[in-house]
Structure 1
Amino acid sequence: MLALLSVLTLFLLGFVVGYWSMHLYPRLRPFRYSHHTEPQLPASSTTSQLQTLAKLYDLPSIVADSRNDAERIDALVRWVHDQWKPQPGHSAGTDNPLDILSRAAQGERFCRADYVTVLANALQAIDLPTRLLELHTRDSHWRPFGGYYQGMEVFLRDKQKWVWVDAQYDAVILNHGEFCSALEIKEALLDWNNGLELASAEGITDIDSYLAFLGPFLDIFIAQPLGQPRRFALVPPQLKFPRRHHGLGRTLYDQRCHSMDVFYAGHPTPQIVPTPIRPRGAFRPHSVSA
């Protein structure tokens, strides 16, 4: 009986701490970012693997009727979601889009997080600059699970800006009709004066439900430009965010950045940050665990 009470107490304590850290603490200290000059992030690049992806699946023909970059994104999102029906908990276990698509063609099904891998690579394969983006809670470096969510940002060349694309649920956020980056969603929520609306959402009922889900993760942004091995974290200057999970776990990022102007600079930019080779498969997208 005592053991059962101990387990229930620990479970309740964990729930209370988790709820506080994800819902109450961010409102008490709404971090913002600085405006100053730092080394530029490297540009995304198209690799030979992505060229093979574009040719093998004839990606240019999928977006041939699209009038702008937003429509190209929409066309490829729908194409990716048609490749398999999601199976929760079954990850492909690879960051190779060709492998994922080949296995899907044989009838294998994967979780929604693998949509991120395939879509990001498909967008970069048609020369739309894309970067994988992990959204982290401010305490994700020590949380055992549920501390981050995986998506991407795509650079709209006709708008000259980065926009948040949630490949898992085909969700895009607009603010007064304009596409938003992940940081712009954060800023709109902090200002409490916005016209945020949800576009093209699959299985999500309304904007309030989506923002209630996404909001707690909008404290730390960790980007990996496609075709580059390094990861870059946009961290508020007031927050100390360790480089490794639990101090000993996986490396969360390679370089810290405090400047929102640098993190969201126009594309492409000169690659002046050294990019040493990292082990293959060191970065794989994950979905949030509840």
Structure 2
Amino acid sequence: MKISIPIALFLLVFTAEQSIAQNFYKNEPLILAEKEQAAILTGKNWQENRWRISPQIAHDTLKLKLYSSMEDVGFRTDKDSIKFKIKVGETKSFYVKMGAVEPAHTIFAAEPFIWDIISYGKERRRKDIRIFYEQANHSYFDSLRRLYPLDQVLIKERTDMDKVLSIMNWTHHQWKHDGNKSPKKNDAISILEEVKEGGRFPCFAYSIVLRDQLTAHGYQARVVYIKTKDLETRKGSPGHVVTEVFLKDLKKWVFLDGQFNVMPTLGGKPLNGAEFQHALSKNYDQVVLSSKDMVDKKEYTDFVYDYLYYFDTALDNRILPVKERYTVDGKKSLMLVPTGAAHPTKIGFWNSVIDYCLYTSSLNDFYAAPK
């Protein structure tokens, strides 16, 4: 049964786990199984029941797409297991003996992952585009700080980066993700009050709570909707929702994913969304996912990479009646589009129209410092 799994990097050599390497069939390692389901190791994590042992298929091949040049992979049955350290262009094979039938010849074939190389312009900022942010002294944020104080969370933090990581970590651990339920209102206090009653919500709820808590503590922050290149036709969900915050001491925007508790960095420098996509594509090995938790880079890259194509955010983040919020030519959001890419007008999966965005390919428009 052929399966394609994207995986990450590192190491080489071909090794076996336990005493399995002592068993051979046709000069290749032989492992034993009673049940037909097997687990696959990619990176650090075993994926249970990911493979069906199929002796009737000649040279049954698992195609692995590596994010970097080398990686650990493995195969585990209910009786035995084996581990490989494989690099791009290699194939490694072994046999699986199940019952009285001929052993199943199983092959791992490693191919390079094809990164999506995209670019943006750096034209001078359009004078008619401005993004507004709410201030921490608004009465709403007085209430948020009183109801959900973070003084003890931040007491030992000194840099903006450390403070933001702690606020994100607090947000991440307020509830367990549930992609099938939505909060009644889209503000932090309302969401957190529902959480007290057992509410669990999707990615956008994390992004809202994180934005509001960051704003309450003196940062300019915004919700950012990230979308795939094929958002108009994709059969599965074409989007995810994150937060970006402007770090005053570094004078730059930074990507935050409250659902996964992730801040991407390169060389110790936190990255915005466009920089994150570029860093994964060009310098995967050097990207670090900063977090208060242990986060698997391979797993998160599997999830997020396709979404890092289109970015859009509201032009006005102030707490105002909808009719009073800033728009440009009737558009309420700004979408960052790669140079030469199409301007999307619909999202097929949700049967919705994109008629609310201005489009720009300029990083200076989308990542302008807040005024």
Judge same fold: TM > 0.5, yes or no. yes
* Secondary structure in structure 1 of the residue aligned to 2:370: coil
2:344 match:
242
Asked if the contact 1:83–1:105 (Cα under 8 Å) also holds between the matched residues in 2, the reply is no
How far has the Cα of 1:182 moved from its partner?
Answer: 1.0
2:144 match:
53
Identify, as 1 or 2, the structure richer in strand. Answer: 2
Distance 2:283 2:164 in 1: 29
Quick check: 96-105 or 157-166, which moved more? 96-105
* Secondary structure in structure 1 of the residue aligned to 2:122: coil
1:216 match:
306
Distance 2:270 2:298 in 1: 17
Go from structure 1 to structure 2 and tell me whether the alpha carbon gap of 1:187 and 1:108 turns closer, same or farther (over 3 Å shift): closer
Quick check: 156-165 or 57-66, which moved more? 57-66
1:20 match:
none
Amino acid at match of 1:43: F
Distance 1:72 1:192 in 2: 26
Distance 1:72 1:202 in 2: 15
Aligned pair count?
Answer: 242
Go from structure 1 to structure 2 and tell me whether the alpha carbon gap of 1:133 and 1:187 turns closer, same or farther (over 3 Å shift): same
2:133 match:
44
Distance 1:36 1:249 in 2: 31
Structure with the bigger RCO (C-alpha within 8 Å, sep 6+) is 1
1:171 match:
262
Identity %, equivalent residues: 24
Asked if the contact 1:245–1:251 (Cα under 8 Å) also holds between the matched residues in 2, the reply is yes
2:121 match:
34
Go from structure 1 to structure 2 and tell me whether the alpha carbon gap of 1:129 and 1:58 turns closer, same or farther (over 3 Å shift): same
Identify, as 1 or 2, the structure richer in helix. Answer: 1
Asked if the contact 1:121–1:226 (Cα under 8 Å) also holds between the matched residues in 2, the reply is no
Amino acid at match of 1:127: G
Asked if the contact 1:175–1:194 (Cα under 8 Å) also holds between the matched residues in 2, the reply is no
Distance 1:83 1:208 in 2: 25
How far has the Cα of 1:129 moved from its partner?
Answer: 0.7
Distance 1:143 1:87 in 2: 22
* Secondary structure in structure 2 of the residue aligned to 1:221: strand
How far has the Cα of 1:99 moved from its partner?
Answer: 1.2
Distance 2:284 2:162 in 1: 28
Go from structure 1 to structure 2 and tell me whether the alpha carbon gap of 1:238 and 1:76 turns closer, same or farther (over 3 Å shift): same
How far has the Cα of 1:259 moved from its partner?
Answer: 0.5
Quick check: 221-230 or 253-262, which moved more? 221-230
Asked if the contact 2:118–2:338 (Cα under 8 Å) also holds between the matched residues in 1, the reply is yes
* Secondary structure in structure 2 of the residue aligned to 1:190: helix
2:367 match:
264
1:108 match:
199
Asked if the contact 2:169–2:292 (Cα under 8 Å) also holds between the matched residues in 1, the reply is no
Residue segments in structure 1 that go unaligned for 5+ positions in a row:
1-25, 269-290
Residue from 242, 249, 274 that aligns with 1:151:
242
Asked if the contact 1:41–1:232 (Cα under 8 Å) also holds between the matched residues in 2, the reply is no
